[in-house]
Amino acid sequence: MDLKGKVAVVTGAGSGIGYAIAQRFAAAGAAVAINYFGYENEARALAERMNSQGGRALAVKADVAKAGEVAAMVEQTTRELGGCHVLVNNAGVEKAMPLLDVTEEEWDKEVSINLKGAFLCLQAAGRAMRDSGQGGSIVNISSIHEDFPFPLHGPYCASKGGLRMLMRNAALELAPYQIRVNNVAPGAVATPINTGTLNDPAKMQRLSEIIPVGRMAKPEEVADVALFLASDSASYVTGSTYYVDGGMVRYAEPL
């Protein structure tokens, strides 16, 4: 699989899964716009390293929950890198909190970034792909929690469930423009967002019990699936969610 001649925007690419995806895409030949809001130093260093190694990369600061900043990011990417053929909606946040204690502010924050932000980026990149006449691929980094309940994470689950249906609708509406839309749904992944879990031996032990393959994923394992969906190898693939969870959503115990 390669992305030679493609330009990709990866949101939330200063750390974790987004960082790994940006690296994979660059290694596959893509020019990459590395979006960040936090992790600025990491995003800029990654772009500089890609450029020094003969690739083409751009670090772009944008709050994905703000339409004007998203539009400017896509416009800058198109102008400086020569197009927008792939979008990876990766930016996301989560916070553990009992449902009855969730504040309006926290609800708005998670839904705005995880769902509204994905919509705004999909819309802006989708317009660029449509207008180019070349089509493209949109990959949303969702979660197993678009289907699988996650107590104490009500806003997160609601936003990811919404992202599932946004993907399905978008796949149908954008297909006439040769734009494919799919979700990647990671389970437990060793990234900064899971630092608390990674530092808790009891939680790590329990994860090893409920994940059939017995371990957390590496960010690169999620990036490999995103690369497939972004590439022409997935030219007939649209409208689906691809689980990268070691079988976690299928976990069951005999009675």
Return the active site residues. 156
Burial 176-215 (b: 16+ CB within 10 A, else e): ebebbbbbbbbbbbbbebbeeebeeeeeeeebeeebeeee
Rounded to 5°, the CA angle 157-158-164 comes to 90
Residue 12: Cβ within 10 Å count: 29
Amino acid letter, 129: M
Neighbours of 63 (CB within 10 A): 17
Task: Please report, as a single letter, which amino acid is at residue 194.
Answer: N
- Alpha-carbon dihedral angle through residues 196, 199, 44, 33, given to the nearest 10 degrees: -60
CA dist., res. 8 & res. 11, Å (int): 10
Determine the Cα–Cα distance for residues 105 and 110; give it in Å rounded to an integer: 9
CA angle 251, 253, 255 (to 5 degrees): 155
